[in-house]
């Protein structure tokens, strides 16, 4: 009898607690840990007082507000974005991430929440005026980004190896390399291109036309096992567009007029 | 547009760098203390027992043969996957502690081994217990011998802590990268952070050298 | 390891690319030693010379020893870039790690140099050898025996330090790993494999050094 009682008590102790999903965890913790890149203005940067700001950061804050919790912005570099999510250092990733099928094997992606066009960025004195002008030049990119993939695809198309390509650890490193003349061209999003040209520090950088790539529809990522959270994020994004908040934030941070539709032609 | 991702280098950035330097020092103090305690314990085990020496050898060997950068990324993802609820500072401290302890253990072992067996036996024959002998003879003599090596280890820790920037902790190097992002004045910012690192490390290395010289002098006398 | 599923297939398929990165790591290591060791000998000679030679050498050593290697890489890459001098990341890694090697070995070499009595050089000179000949055939072999172990340690350090090159865009072992893991995000698998590769590289370097060391020891008096 004693033995049975002991086993019963033990099973009570070790049995898993009532099932709680990620949303419950977040609400209970009172904070939403949100990964963003802070070296990717205007989507993510540090303002004059060094506090995080930007389009992605603001989406995080809206999301936290909708959940009734505090937003904790965790800075993740481009190559550390998904590892931070897998390693459970963050709850959601709002970091201008393209939902590739390869990445989707490891994390779960939401519906698109922002759309970028990818353009060529170069120095005014480089003589580069189109993507194909980069053929044979030294070029750069940021390790683990979609823009890097576009550049590498270009190199392959021109029959070039990777020996004239340098992959940097962060966005700012690649801009510095371009300003200093270490490379002659980068592929960046149109949003970055427009803000860099207006910045006194990067006065010598100009956009030199589009790249042969489709609009980059970026998505928010959550852990694969957090299905409930993913559904909530999708609803949140749907509402952001419906209430005009998407257009408002797009105008505020990117200043590029009417925001692009978050859909693709011929499908949803 | 109602925001400014970029600005000229100003006093706020200076203060930001100083805060980064403060965090670098904090990392050194916390990880350095833990690593010293752990290192002395493991070093003692390795000195006193052959079995412990063989058992701890693989861990120390691996920690000393893999770059810290790789260890940082690896361990931080293991921590996350294992479900440890630990922030970036905790992760950074844990990895730096383990890494420095692997070196501290060898320093400590060498220190214990440097104490003459006859001195220790003499202490015991004077009626000291094993504990008293360890506290009053072995530890002070060993500490004296390895003190300079220990200071260099702490200096290495300050410099190694720069790598913690790779997992997102805003210490001095990360703070300088952030400042460079906003100001695009890399030369100025790196010159400043270089000075700060130098200001942290140089006094320690001079102190260690002087002590070393004095010890040599004492031994010669 | 609660619910982590290892995906090894993708990682193993990329093994050839990782090995390619390991080759770059070894190249940087070898070249940085080729840059660092002669410079360290030169610095050691300067340290034994007059104040005009000693002071700049001492300043150089203090700066390399009291700032992080990662910082030095940044300074060389972006700092020099700001002054209009753009070197490829491979060259910067070789030069910066090479100078770092020199800074750390100089003091060791100075004491090794001190250990060879000046009378030996004088004797060799009196036999009609030129100064360089005397240094090469008489002083250097004896120095090598003393400085051998610290040099081997520094070679392993240089290899581990080369991983920092990834932060200035060098695609060595760590850089290739970062690149590959960002495609599929199998971070843990990739970095486990890379850690294993570094371990093998470190052991291979030690083994090569041990074989070379036996040859050095054979010539010992």
Cis, bond preceding A100 (omega within 30 deg of 0): no
Contact criterion met (CB < 8 Å) for C81 and A106: no
The Cα C49–Cα C66 span in angstroms is 23
Closest by Cβ to B5, choosing from A42, A83, A86: A42
Distance of alpha carbon A128 from alpha carbon A125, whole angstroms: 8
pLDDT of residue C29: 97
Neighbour tally for C84: CB within 10 Å? 8
The answer to whether C191 faces chain A, any CB pair under 8 Å, is no
Q: What is the DSSP letter of C138?
A: I
**Closest to A202 (Cβ–Cβ): which among B166, B168, B184?**
B184
The class level of CATH for C8-218 reads: mainly alpha
pLDDT of residue A11: 58
Residue B1 banded pLDDT, cuts 50, 70, 90: very low
Higher model confidence: residue A107 or residue B88?
Answer: A107
- The topology under which CATH files domain A118-210 is D-Maltodextrin-Binding Protein; domain 2 (3.40.190)
- How many other C-beta atoms are found inside a 10 Å radius of the C-beta of residue A113? 25
Q: Write out chain B residues lying below 8 Å of C2, CB-based.
A: 81-83
- CATH code of the domain occupying A18-116+218-254: 3.40.190.10
In chain B, which residues have their Cβ closer than 8 Å to the Cβ of C66? 155, 197-198, 201-202, 205
Chains within contact range of chain A (3+ C-beta pairs < 8 Å) = B, C
CA dihedral B38, B85, A169, B188 (to 10 degrees): -70
What are the boundaries of each domain within chain A? 18-116+218-254, 118-210
Distance CA A194, CA A42 (A): 10
- Chain A contact for C185 (CB, 8 A cutoff): yes
For B:47-106, CB contacts with C below 8 A are 62, 64-71, 73-74, 77-78, 81-83
Alpha-carbon torsion, ordered B165, B170, B172, B177, to 10 deg: 70
Judge whether C191 is closer than 8 Å to chain B, CB to CB: yes
- Alpha-helix runs per DSSP H in chain A: 2-14, 22-29, 55-67, 81-86, 101-104, 146-157, 171-180, 190-198, 227-242, 245-254
pLDDT at A15 over 60: no
More confident of the two residues C69 and B211: C69
The two three-digit tokens of residue B87, written as one number: 């922030």
In this structure, how many other beta carbons lie within 10 angstroms of the beta carbon of residue C59? 10
Q: How far is CA C175 from the centre of its chain?
A: 18
Of C86, C171, C185, the CB nearest to A180: C86
Contact yes or no for B205 and C66 at CB 8 A? yes
CATH class, domain B11-220, is mainly alpha
Task: Name the residue of chain A whose CA is nearest to C164's CA.
Answer: A169
Q: What pLDDT is attached to residue C1?
A: 45
Would you state the pLDDT for residue C156? 94
Output the CA–CA distances (angstroms, integers) from residue B204 to A39, B145, B151, B208, C111, in the order listed.
34, 17, 7, 6, 21
Domains A18-116+218-254 and A118-210 share a fold: yes
Euclidean distance between CA atoms C112 and C63, whole angstroms: 22
Cβ partners under 8 Å of residue B23, min gap 6:
B169, B170, B171, B172, B175
Structural contact between residues A101 and A146, judged by C-beta atoms closer than 8 angstroms: no
DSSP state of C116: S
Contact residues on chain C for A145, CB-CB shorter than 8 A? 182
Virtual CA dihedral for B114, B118, B121, B127, nearest 10 degrees?
-110
C-beta atoms of B181 and A46 within 8 A: yes
Which residue from A82, A143, A180 is facing C185, i.e. has the nearest CB?
A: A82
Closest chain B residue to the Cα of A91, Cα to Cα: B80
Evaluate whether A92 touches A60 at the Cβ level (below 8 Å): yes
Q: How confident is the model at residue B2 (pLDDT cuts 50, 70, 90)?
A: very low
Question: Rounded mean pLDDT of B112-138?
Answer: 89
Cβ pair C12, B93 in contact under 8 A? no
Low-confidence ranges of chain C (pLDDT < 70): 1-3, 218-221
Q: Is the pLDDT of residue A62 over 90?
A: yes
Neighbours of B220 (CB within 10 A): 6
pTM: 0.85
A112-148 tens-digit pLDDT: 999 999 999 999 999 999 999 999 999 999 988 889 9
Radius of gyration of chain A (CA): 22
Band of pLDDT at residue A14, cut at 50, 70 and 90: low
Sign of the CA dihedral running A229, A233, A236, A242: negative
Question: Token pair for residue C196?
Answer: 């294993």
Candidate from A127-131, B103-107, B129-133 with smallest mean pLDDT = B129-133
Token pair of B198, please?
């130098």
Residue A213 neighbours by CB distance under 10 Å: 18
Residue C9, pLDDT score: 87
Contact across the interface for B168 and A80, Cβ inside 8 Å: yes
Does residue B53 register a pLDDT over 50? yes
**Domain chopping of chain C, boundaries:** 8-218
Q: Where are the domains of chain B?
A: 11-220
Contact of A48 with chain B, judged by CB distance below 8 Å, is answered with yes
β-pair type (A118-123, A165-168): unpaired
Distance CA A217, CA A262 (A): 7
Is there a contact between B104 and B151 (Cβ–Cβ < 8 Å)?
Answer: no
Measured between alpha carbons, how far is A140 from A186 in angstroms, rounded to an integer? 5
Contacts of C among chains (3+ CB pairs under 8 A): A, B
Among B81, B137, B87, B84, smallest CA distance to B112 is for B137
**Whole-number Å distance between alpha carbons of A135 and A184:** 10
Give the SS3 label for residue B48. helix
Task: Give the residue among A264, A226, A31 at the shortest CA–CA distance from A109.
Answer: A226
Residue A24 pLDDT greater than 70, yes or no: yes
Are the beta carbons of B1 and A42 separated by less than 8 Å?
yes
Say which residues have a Cβ less than 8 Å from residue A186's Cβ, sequence separation at least 6: A120, A121, A122, A139, A140, A141, A147, A151, A174, A175, A178
For residue A194, give every residue at least 6 positions away whose Cβ sits within 8 Å of its Cβ, in sequence order, or none: A207, A254, A255, A256
Pairwise CA distance, residues B200 & B198, whole Å = 5
Q: Which of A78, A162, A169 sits opposite C167 (nearest CB)?
A: A169
> Could you write out the three-class secondary structure of B190-210?
HHHHHHHHHHHHHHHHHHHHH
């Amino acid at each position: 009898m004693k033995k049975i009682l002991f086993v019963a008590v033990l099973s009570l102790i070790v049995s898993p607690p009532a099932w709680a999903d990620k949303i419950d965890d977040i609400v209970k913790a009172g904070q939403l840990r949100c990964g963003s890149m802070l070296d990717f203005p205007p989507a993510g940067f540090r303002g004059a007082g060094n506090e995080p700001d930007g389009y992605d950061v603001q989406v995080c804050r809206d999301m936290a507000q909708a959940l009734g919790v505090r937003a904790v912005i965790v800075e993740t570099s481009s190559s550390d974005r998904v590892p931070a999510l897998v390693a459970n250092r963050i709850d959601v990733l709002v970091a201008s991430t393209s939902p590739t099928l390869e990445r989707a094997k490891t994390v779960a992606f939401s519906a698109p929440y922002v759309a970028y066009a990818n353009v060529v960025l170069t120095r005014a004195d480089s003589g580069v005026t189109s993507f194909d002008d980069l053929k044979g030049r030294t070029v750069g990119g940021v390790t683990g980004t979609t823009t890097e993939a576009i550049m590498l695809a270009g190199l392959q198309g021109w029959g070039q190896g990777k020996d004239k390509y340098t992959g940097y650890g962060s966005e700012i490193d690649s801009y510095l390399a371009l300003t200093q003349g270490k490379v002659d061209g980068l592929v960046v999003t149109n949003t970055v291109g427009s803000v860099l040209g207006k910045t006194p520090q990067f006065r010598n950088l100009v956009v030199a036309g589009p790249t042969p790539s489709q609009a980059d529809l970026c998505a928010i990522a959550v852990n694969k096992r957090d299905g409930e959270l993913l559904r909530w994020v999708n609803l949140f994004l749907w509402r952001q567009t419906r209430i005009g908040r998407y257009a408002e934030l797009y105008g505020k941070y990117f200043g590029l007029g009417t925001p692009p539709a978050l859909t693709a032609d011929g499908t949803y | 547009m109602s925001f400014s991702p970029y600005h000229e280098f100003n006093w706020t950035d200076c203060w930001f760098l100083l805060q980064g330097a403060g965090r670098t020092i904090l990392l050194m103090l916390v990880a350095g203390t833990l690593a010293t305690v752990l290192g002395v314990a493991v070093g003692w085990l390795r000195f006193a027992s052959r079995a412990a020496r063989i058992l701890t050898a693989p861990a120390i060997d691996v920690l000393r043969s893999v770059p810290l950068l790789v260890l940082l990324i690896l361990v931080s993802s293991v921590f996350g996957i294992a479900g440890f609820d630990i922030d970036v500072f905790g992760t950074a401290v844990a990895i730096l502690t383990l890494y420095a302890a692997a070196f501290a253990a060898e320093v400590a072992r060498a220190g214990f081994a440097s104490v003459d067996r006859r001195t220790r036996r003499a202490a015991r024959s004077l009626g000291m217990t094993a504990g008293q002998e360890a506290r009053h003879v072995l530890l002070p003599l060993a500490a004296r011998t390895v003190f300079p090596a220990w200071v260099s280890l702490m200096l290495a820790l300050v410099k190694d802590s720069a790598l913690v920037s790779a997992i997102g902790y805003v210490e001095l190097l990360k703070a300088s990268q952030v400042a460079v992002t906003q100001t695009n004045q890399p030369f100025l910012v790196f010159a400043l952070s270089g000075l700060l690192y130098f200001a942290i490390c140089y006094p320690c290395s001079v102190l260690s050298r002087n002590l070393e010289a004095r010890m040599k002098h004492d031994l010669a006398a | 390891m609660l619910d982590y599923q290892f995906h090894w297939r993708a990682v193993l398929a990329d093994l050839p690319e990782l090995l390619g990165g390991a080759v770059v790591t070894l190249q940087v290591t070898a070249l940085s030693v080729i840059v660092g060791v002669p410079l360290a000998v030169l610095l050691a000679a300067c340290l034994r010379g007059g104040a005009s030679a000693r002071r700049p050498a001492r300043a150089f050593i203090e700066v390399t020893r009291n700032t992080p290697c990662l910082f030095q890489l940044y300074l060389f890459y972006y700092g020099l870039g700001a002054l209009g001098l753009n070197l490829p990341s491979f060259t910067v890694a070789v030069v910066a790690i090479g100078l770092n090697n020199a800074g750390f070995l100089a003091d060791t070499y100075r004491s090794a140099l001190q250990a060879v009595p000046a009378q030996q050089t004088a004797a060799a000179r009196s036999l009609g050898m030129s100064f360089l000949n005397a240094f090469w055939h008489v002083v250097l072999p004896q120095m090598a025996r003393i400085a051998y172990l610290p040099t081997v340690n520094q070679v392993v350090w240089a290899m581990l330090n080369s991983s920092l090159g990834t932060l200035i865009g060098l695609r060595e072992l760590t850089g290739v790993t970062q690149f590959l893991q960002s495609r599929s995000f199998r971070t843990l698998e990739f970095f486990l494999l890379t850690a294993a590769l570094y371990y093998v590289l470190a052991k291979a370097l030690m083994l090569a050094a041990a074989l070379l060391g036996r040859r050095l020891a054979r010539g010992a008096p």
